[in-house]
Amino acid sequence: MVEEALTAERILEAAEEVLRRFGPAKATVVDVARALGVSHGSVYRHFPSKTALRDAVAERWLARVSKPLAEVAAEKGPAPERLRRWLDLLIELKRKKARDDPELFATYRELVADARDVVRVHVETLASQIAQILADGVEQGAFTIEDPVAAGWAVFNATTKFHKPSHASEWFDPGIDAAFEGVWSLVLGGLGVREAPAKARKKPAKK
């Protein structure tokens, strides 16, 4: 393997494979270099420390969630439906990771737990994507909130149970989807939508 082809991307791919094989506690930069057939110095030229490399791997993993969500956030069309699609996609991406490869999911949870700054930025990204949808919804007259940024955080926090990895063991409970529908109704009402789509209310929305 020739060293000149060594890109950050290739190192990250190898690091992911090494992490999967050895787990975050045991994986070292030397293991990554060995997997690539390069010296550990070559790896350090791209990532100055083991922590930098681990953070970059964590970031890449989280980007696989935040990037497809960014596309939904940037769509046009009615904001309530878009918010619902955004939440459904977040939940589906997280469940898919937990279900398809539980071991890798556990590995990443451990890795991400140590990458606090990376997580902070990720969570801020998600909350601001929600805020973007909410701001559109206010402009469309669909939402009556006054502060889309604050409300974005509130929606993110109120749905914690359904997307935060520490709740993964609850995601396959039989009642989880009904539980989400309940929170979704509450959130929608909290944003000022008095009539849930496709569900007629018995009483008029005004008090």
Q: At what angle are helices 116-139 and 50-74 packed, to 10 degrees?
A: 10
Helix, strand, coil abundance in the chain, percent, nearest 5: 75, 0, 25
Nearest residue to 189 (alpha-carbon basis) of 66, 65, 98, 83: 83
CA distance 84 to 100: 24
* Stretch in the footprint of its own copies (CB under 8 A) among 8-16, 39-47, 54-62, 176-184: 176-184
CA distance 36 to 104: 21
Nearest residue to 97 (alpha-carbon basis) of 87, 86, 107, 85: 107
Binding mask 150-169 for its own copies (x = CB under 8 A): xx-xxx-xxxxx--x-xx--
Rule CB under 8 A: choose which of 4, 25, 100, 207 binds its own copies. Answer: 207
35 contacts its own copies (rule: CB under 8 A):
no
What's the min distance (Å) between Cβ of 136 and its own copies? 16
* Stretch in the footprint of its own copies (CB under 8 A) among 3-11, 90-98, 104-112, 184-192: 184-192
CA distance 170 to 19: 26
206 contacts its own copies (rule: CB under 8 A):
yes
120 contacts its own copies (rule: CB under 8 A):
no
76 contacts its own copies (rule: CB under 8 A):
no
What's the min distance (Å) between Cβ of 113 and its own copies? 10
Question: What are the residues binding its own copies (CB under 8 A)?
Answer: 141, 144, 146, 150-151, 153-155, 157-161, 164, 166-167, 179, 182-183, 185-192, 194, 201-203, 205-207
